[in-house]
Each structure stands twice: as C-alpha cells, then as structure tokens.
Structure 1
Amino acid sequence: MKNLDSLLAFDADHLWHPYAALRNTPARFLAKAAHGTTIETADGLNLIDAVSSWWCVAHGHNAPEITEAIRKQSEKMCHVMFGGFTHEPAIELGERLVKFLPKGLNKIFYADSGSISVECAAKMAVQYQFAKGHPEKCKLVALKGGYHGDTAGAMALSDPDGMHTLFRGIMPQHYFAERPNCRADGEWDDRDFESMERVVEEHEKEIAAIICEPVFQGGNGMWLYNAGYLKRLRKLCDEKGILLIFDEIAAGFYRTGPRWGMEHASLGDHGEYVLPDIMTIGKALTGGHMTMAACVASEMVADVITNSKISAFMHGPTYMANPLACAAAIASLDLFENRDYASRVAAIESRLRANLEPLRNLENAADVRVLGAIGCLELKAIPTSDDILRVIKETGVWLRPFCNYVYTMPPLITTDAEVDRICEAIKMIGQCEPGPVSDDEFHE
C-alpha cells in the first residue's frame, strides 16, 4: 500500500465525499478491509460498523456466501444490456422475489439504486393515471420529514424543508402533508391524519399517488411513527382512486422487526397487513455487496400500463438487472430465508431499549427512539466533530451522527456484546459538551 499520509492527502485534494466539502473535510479513516461487523482501517483500528455502512450491510461485510456468488457469476458474465436480452440471474432473482415479497406485488422493475427505484415508482404512478385517462394526475403527495433519495425526482418527494432546499429550482413541485406525530410505541390518534386529508381534498384531481416510508422515516430525522397512519392512507387512496407507494428501502428486510415495515399495519389475526400498489426496495437487497434496487408493482398497476396506448414503461437504466448484482441479491435472499433474523432483530431491539432508554436522563438528550434494529438518541445540540472522532477511536465503534441524531442501525448479525459497545459509544457522545456545528462529514 502507498504511504497512508499521501493517500489521504490525495483524497482530501481531489475526492468529494457524501455531504462534505472538498479539501476542508478529509476522510477520517482509510478502510483497509471489512469482515462481519468490523471495518479494519489502515492505521490499525477495528471499528464496529454501527450503521451498516448506510444501512445496507445486513449480513455483515464480505459475507462469504455473497462474495462467492459474485465471483462465480464474474466468470460467466459481468454485464449485458437488459434491452433485448435477459439472463438466468435476473430470472432466478425475479422468481425468488415473487415468493419473498408481499403477496400480489409481483411485477418487478430492476433499478440501479434506491433513488432510481423511487424515480421509477413516481413515473409508474403517473403513467398509470395517464393510461386510466387522467393525464392531469401528475403530482404526488409525500410526508414532511421524509427522505427518498438524492436524484432530482426523489429529492422532490423528500422533506421540502430538509437537506435539499438548495435545489428547489430544479425539482418538480409536489404536495406535502405534516409528518405523523403519533409515535410507533404510542396510541393512534385519528387527528394525526387530518393534514393528509386536507391536502388530498384540496388537490385530489392532480394527485397520482401518495408515497411514504412505512413506520420509519430515515434520512431526515430517524422518526418512528404509528402504523395506524398506513391503514388510513390505504383507505383514503382506495376512496379517491390514488395509488399508494411504500418506500421500503430502509424499513424492509427485517430492519424494523418484521420482514417489511408495512407489516406493522396488521389487518387482523390471519397475517394480513396493509399493502401498497407500488413498493421500492434496495440497500439490504444485495446485503450491501453491490448496488441494486427494484420498483415492484401490483398486477393491477402493471395491467393498466401494459394494456394502454403507451404500453412500455418509459424507463431503462444502463445497468438494469446487472448479472453480478442479481447474483449477489440471490445469495442475500438465501441468507434472509435461512436465518432467523426476526428473532435476532427482536434481541437487538431488546438490547437497544435496555441501553438507550436510560439516556433520556442525559442533560443534552431530547428523545430516545427504538424499533427493531434501529436506535436513535436525539440530542438538543450535537457535540464537536473532534469529540465524536475521539469517541469513535476510544470505543472502536463507527457512528456517523447527522444533525442532532446519534443513531445506530447495525448489521443484523451484530452480537449482544457488540450492541452494548455501540450503545456505550452513543452514551459517550451524548455526554460530550455541545459545540459549534462544523461543515464536515459528521454533520450531513
């Protein structure tokens, strides 16, 4: 390996990092290797990845089953265009997803990333309404506090007062209802739905679909809300001829407890729950080993589009159904199906609650929220970057707070002892003195 200092110097001078300034915010660590729950750095640290490398490394880093699947596929074919061709990995993954996804959601459009799958979902909803003879229905309703991605269409559906306000001029304009206030661990109050009802009543003739992250709003506030909201959404959409889109990119694959976030909205004793017309999946789909996502539609949505004058769905990414990514996703699904992640996540949740609930008593604590393998300490004010870096090095736990949120979404294989270490690191950050917010990678 080249000299560590020279590598980091080049990085700082030439490479932009996510939500960070060039030059002023050099990378804090150079990752050398990653296995299981641990990232090894070039300067000798072994850091527990408490955020699953942005929530995707569900089975841990370099899961041998997934890396072997990628290796085998690379010997046959790394990529071929999906226009005019198909291939076995894409077909096998489709067969597996049809069985793994909620019943009735079985028309699959492969996408490059979560953001692109959201773009596809929005376009699919608009094309559906066009096919139904309602070209005027080309707007969506989203929730304040939501996050759906960084591409223009996905930004336009994220919190209008969130991190993307700089780009309002290039975004299409949609409608927003107030964030649900009823907590996931609280009682449902029907008044919590009044804002959505008002928005739909006022703009009903323009609305193609409503989109939300079921029970877990991630990248704009780590908010966990009551599943009663999803039940009301389904009823309203049915009454108004509006499609319902669930963005399960962060909430899916057991992150909130059950396989899908929507399963919290139970409809009875027979395992039934609220279903959307379109859903998006990504992140953990490949276990974080390759970039891949999907937009999945119901048969009703697919049939309306397919039987219309413009029968082709008008989207087509270059790397759609990339064979390497499909192979990784198939191996990832094997792990999701063969491991009892529901029980493991329940154990992680119990451990997070036991460790984080007492942190409500910290002087700088504003709130504590836990659901499934998600834990968040909301602070009144964030400590300095130097203090956060110190805690990371002292505890051997990689955390990446944003705004006032110190959170963890660890790999689903994380042990009880590792969860305890993660919570101790969160506690230490919560005990630090608040400082001025600097423009660096710890404050997205």
Structure 2
Amino acid sequence: MSQSNIFFDRKHIWHPYSSMVKPLPCYIIKSAKGVYLKLKHGSSIIDGMSSWWSTIHGYNHPILNNALKNQIKKMSHIMFGGITHPSAISLCRKLISLTPKKLDCVFLSDSGSVAIEVAIKMLIQYWRSLGQKRKLFLTIRDGYHGDTFAAMSISDPKNSIHRIYHNFLPKNLFAKSPISAFNKTWNSNDLISFKYLIEKNSSKIAGVILEPIVQGVGGMNFYHPNYLKKIKILCDYYHIPIVFDEIATGFGRTGKLFAFEHANVIPDILCLGKAITGGTITLAATLTSRKIANIISESKIGCFMHGPTYMANPLACAVANANIKMIQTNKWKIQVSNIEKQLCDSLLPLISHPRVIDARVLGAIGVIECSKLINIAMIQKFFVKKGVWIRPFKKLIYIVPPYIINSNQLKMLTDAISVALNNSAFFI
C-alpha cells in the first residue's frame, strides 16, 4: 500500500472506538493465515485477539474457505422473506442440536448487537401479546451487550463506553455486579442488589439479560457460577424470561461449549455471534423457546416485527455450517484446555507485579488488570515489534487467541505482556 493510501486511511476512514482528529495508528495487513497476520513489509505478527473473539480456527482455514467457495457458485445472497434455502435450514438444525432442547426456534441476523436487539424486541412483544406493556430490563453493572441503541441501554450506563448516551437511552435496572470470582469462594451477599430490584419491579420487568460467567468489555470479569444459578431461580420464581448473551463466549471460549454450562442452567433466549462462522463473515442468531415464539406469533399482530436485509445470508450460513461441523469433532476441548493451562502458568504469577491489580484465566481467555490506564498507541507499537497483536483497553491487557495456537506462539504473546509491564511509558 502506498504512502498516499496510508494518509487517506488516517484522514478519511473511521476505525472502531477511534478519533478522526487523533486516530490510533493502524497497521496494514496484507494477508492472514493460521494465527499470523502478515504486515505490508512482509513480517508477520501472532494474533492474540482472534479478531475480537471470532477467528477460533485461525485465518484462511481451507474447510471454511471451501464452504464459501462452494456456496458462492450457487448464490451469495437471497432475501429470506418468503424464501428459504438449504444452508439456513442446515444451520438452524445444527444450532438446535447444539443448544438445550428448550431452545428450538431460531432467528438469524447479521451481527451480535442485532441479535441482542432481536431478543429485546421479542420480550417486549411477548409481554404485549400477554396484555402487558412491560419494557424494563434488569441486568448487572459492568456489562456490555453491543453498540446499537437497545443493546447500549442494557450495558452499564456509567462505567461503559456508552456513558455519553446515558440520558438519551431507555432507562433500565442495574444490579451490582457480583464480586465472587469464578474460582473463588461464593458469597451469597452478591445477590442482595439483584434480589431487591427483581422483587421491587417484578411486575414491570420484561426480561433479565446477562453475559453468563464472563463480562466482556465491561471489565473482563469472571463471576461465580452460583450467581447465575441463583439468578435463574429468581427469574423462574417471578416468571421473568432470562436472556444469555453468549456472543463472545459461545463455541468453546470458556472451556465449555457455552459459558452457561458452567452453572448448568438454561436460558429462555440465547444470543450467539462472533465465532459462529469461525471469524470469516458476519452472522448472529437469537434462539428462543417454543413458548415465547408461540405467544408472540399468536398475538393480534401475528408475527415478529423484525427482518434484516441480510438475514440468513447463504454465504454466512454455509460457512457457519462448516464451522460448527468442525466444532462438533470436539478438538477444541483439548486445544482450549491446553491454552488455559499455559495461560495459568504464564499469566497468573504476574499478579505479584507492582503494576498489576489482578491476573485471571478462564478457558482461552487471559486477563491482566493493571493499576493505571494503558497508553494504547505506545504499547501496541511495542507488541508489533515483538511480533504479536494484542489490543488492550482501559486498564486491561487481555488475550483471546485462536484455538489452533501452539505453545511457542502462545509463549510469545505472554512473554510480550510480561515485558511490557516493566515499561512505565506504557502506563498513564
């Protein structure tokens, strides 16, 4: 890419969570294969982010590529209104077979944030069909569910990246996030805030929405499975549907196929995305129970009022089918277990570092929480020089590597983090 194109990118193209006046530096990627991103000058860096949790089998995987090639020979896209196709039918069969029996109705969309919007609209329409105008949602602080408006309204309004929109968004209910960590002692006091809010507002709440076990952008917290179990009991008692946002954690990332399996509970609605296509093309799914689907469908309106243009895109469905077929071989279980062990050995000892508040690992997720904000531009430049791609945010350095990463490649990631902690210039 010429220097003029680099200048054009910097001047005219808006990148995620960045500024047009003082944008973060962008690194030009010519190609990608396996765990490597190839830079414009020919050197390669190891991807520690799986392109934001999605590319679990690595880049340019021949099975996934072939699925796309075979599908595009037939058709790349058709509308889903009044038309169906084999790739969508096959995908929905697979999703229903992978998830709890209760979840047997599938709505396909084109991004994780939209899958959340769909879930919210489903529950508003569900209660309207029952003759109740419920519109409040209950969740916990430090959560993140996407960047569209309804999704922002259930993300933490004060601590999240969306706080500037707080006064414009619908007002929802936020319980204190649990303090009991995943692998630590359970403290029942964690439930006090949630229990109070659900008891006080039980006749107004349309649904409870949670990221099960792992809170993502809100702070990369791993909370105790007992919390999820107790929340589900409360929801059942008050007959309030519960939505699990597994967009980041679904398909093996936490060591279970879905994070809610750690607590052995089942949601009423399940949202999936990111890794559903192995990181090749955008797709998401919202799965719901037959009960909710029927109540919506038997109302005066008679249908669910949502329909994205690229809903059930044949290319995305075809590659998702191939991806899930790979997942069903269960090779990921060994891969994620090996990653978890090595991350524990490499990252957990860093908790003694003077710049580290906490170090935590769950499945193929490793997190270092620092005591100060991180200078993203400077630390990323350092990481690239070290041959790795890691994208920190706020005070967190975290990695979610592709499952296919080997021990030497993973060591390069964790070594780079360890060395970076020693440089005061990377912290504000």
TM-score bracket, shorter-length normalisation: over 0.9
Distance 2:377 2:241 in 1: 47
Q: CA deviation at 1:434?
A: 4.9
The one-character-per-residue Cα deviations of 1:304-341 (angstroms, maximum 9, x if unpaired) are: 22222222111111100000100110011111112421
Q: Which amino acid aligns with 2:139?
A: A
Matched, 1:108 2:99: no
User: Is this contact kept in 2: 1:278–1:295, CA < 8 A?
Assistant: yes
Q: Which amino acid aligns with 1:154?
A: A
List aligned pairs for 1:248-259, cutoff 5 A.
248-259=246-257
User: Is this contact kept in 2: 1:11–1:27, CA < 8 A?
Assistant: no
Across the aligned residues of Structure 1 and Structure 2, the Cα RMSD in angstroms comes to: 1.3
User: Is this contact kept in 2: 1:349–1:373, CA < 8 A?
Assistant: yes
User: Is this contact kept in 2: 1:140–1:207, CA < 8 A?
Assistant: yes
Aligned match of 1:36 = 34
Does the residue aligned with 1:284 lie in a helix, a strand or coil?
helix
Distance 1:19 1:9 in 2: 19
Does the residue aligned with 2:203 lie in a helix, a strand or coil?
helix
Matched, 1:244 2:235: no
Distance 1:380 1:45 in 2: 33
Aligned match of 1:57 = 55
Matched, 1:355 2:355: no
List aligned pairs for 1:7-156, cutoff 5 A.
7-25=5-23, 27-135=25-133, 137-156=134-153
Aligned match of 1:211 = 209
Distance 2:240 2:194 in 1: 13
The one-character-per-residue Cα deviations of 1:174-216 (angstroms, maximum 9, x if unpaired) are: 1111111110011211111111011112222210110000000
Q: CA deviation at 1:379?
A: 0.3
Distance 2:259 2:24 in 1: 36
Q: CA deviation at 1:382?
A: 3.4
Distance 1:247 1:386 in 2: 30
Percent identity, aligned pairs only? 39
Q: CA deviation at 1:166?
A: 1.1
- Pick the aligned partner of 1:340 from 325, 331, 334: 331
- Pick the aligned partner of 1:423 from 393, 408, 414: 414
Does the residue aligned with 1:182 lie in a helix, a strand or coil?
coil
List aligned pairs for 1:234-383, cutoff 5 A.
234-265=232-263, 273-383=264-374
Summarize the Cα distance change of 1:142–1:383 in structure 2 as closer, same or farther, 3 Å threshold. Answer: closer
Q: Which amino acid aligns with 2:399?
A: T
- Pick the aligned partner of 1:168 from 166, 169, 172: 166
The one-character-per-residue Cα deviations of 1:65-102 (angstroms, maximum 9, x if unpaired) are: 11111111111111111111111111111111111122
Does the residue aligned with 2:309 lie in a helix, a strand or coil?
coil
Distance 2:156 2:306 in 1: 25
Summarize the Cα distance change of 1:147–1:383 in structure 2 as closer, same or farther, 3 Å threshold. Answer: closer
Q: Which amino acid aligns with 2:235?
A: C
Distance 2:90 2:376 in 1: 46
Summarize the Cα distance change of 1:91–1:385 in structure 2 as closer, same or farther, 3 Å threshold. Answer: closer
Aligned match of 1:442 = none
Distance 1:237 1:82 in 2: 34
Does the residue aligned with 1:356 lie in a helix, a strand or coil?
helix
Does the residue aligned with 1:90 lie in a helix, a strand or coil?
helix
Distance 1:285 1:145 in 2: 25
| Structure 2 unaligned regions, length at least 5 | none
Summarize the Cα distance change of 1:99–1:385 in structure 2 as closer, same or farther, 3 Å threshold. Answer: closer
TM-score (norm 2): 0.97
TM-score (norm 1): 0.94
Summarize the Cα distance change of 1:21–1:345 in structure 2 as closer, same or farther, 3 Å threshold. Answer: same
Aligned match of 1:268 = none
Distance 2:235 2:24 in 1: 47
User: Is this contact kept in 1: 2:31–2:38, CA < 8 A?
Assistant: yes
Does the residue aligned with 2:41 lie in a helix, a strand or coil?
coil
Q: Which amino acid aligns with 1:146?
A: G
Distance 2:91 2:375 in 1: 45
Q: Which amino acid aligns with 1:402?
A: F
Summarize the Cα distance change of 1:383–1:219 in structure 2 as closer, same or farther, 3 Å threshold. Answer: closer
Matched, 1:404 2:402: no
Distance 2:347 2:177 in 1: 24
Aligned match of 1:440 = none
The one-character-per-residue Cα deviations of 1:401-427 (angstroms, maximum 9, x if unpaired) are: 000000000011111111111111111
